[in-house]
A and B are shown apart, each in its own frame.
Chain A
């Protein structure tokens, strides 16, 4: 199935720094979702976005639903060691979901 373009592929940052990652698609989506996956675990939903232009926060995480409905952004402020993991975006047209390729985040204490 279709995969979304997610960038960057991996990031190595110092603790306390902010992180930005994005996801783009050639298709329009009705919903954008962001997940975090720890090693050996299933992805955990972080933020869900339902409207173009919507900006939603969850603690230090902020995500935005792009105006064109073809992209989304996730920002993490003041990163901490437990932010380490793989972050996936997902776009949904209703009953179909398409996942990004993932961004691996490493936080250096």
Chain B
């Protein structure tokens, strides 16, 4: 299947700083990428849908000014957590949508810990 990478896989930062997470589709072009957040023992919570060349669509309750998403190319989307706080600590997972076939492939996730 298609491969999606995420970087970094684990990051620890201090409260108030910003963190950027990269999501890349390695062997296919993804016009649409998704960003999820996952808490322990819970399902994936969609944060936003990222479309190449346009503004991301955020789910209700997700602060777009706090979670900045940029999808500058067909293989790269970035999520920047601005002014991170301890409650932002979570597992962030991106996915890329391959429209042929209609399948979604996930990255390995990024564990964010804000101290």
Contacts and interface: CB of A to CB of B under 8 A. Distances in A.
Query: Size band of the A side of the interface?
Result: 20 to 34
A59 interface: no
Nearest to A41: B108
Given A42-B6, A45-B1, A99 B44 contact: yes
B43 A3 contact: yes
Given A41-B108, A45-B1, A104 B44 contact: no
A33 B66 CA distance: 31
B43 A42 contact: no
A40 B111 CA distance: 8
B41 A92 contact: no
Q: How large is the interface on B (under 10, 10 to 19, 20 to 34, 35 or more residues)?
A: 20 to 34
A66 interface: no
B103 A48 contact: yes
A63 B91 CA distance: 28
Nearest to A31: B102
Candidate in B34, B105, B106 with the most chain A CB atoms within 10 angstroms: B106
B21 to A, nearest CB: 12
Interface string A85-108: 000101010110101111010000
Contacts of A11: none
B33 to A, nearest CB: 11
A108 to B, nearest CB: 19
B97 A88 contact: no
A92 B106 contact: no
Contacts of B105: 45
Interface in B69-115: 91, 93, 95, 97, 99, 101-109, 111
Given A42-B6, A42-B107, 4 more contacts: A42-B108, A45-B105, A88-B43, A95-B99
Q: List the 3 shortest-distance A-B pairs measured between CB atoms, nearest first.
A: A42-B106, A42-B109, A42-B108
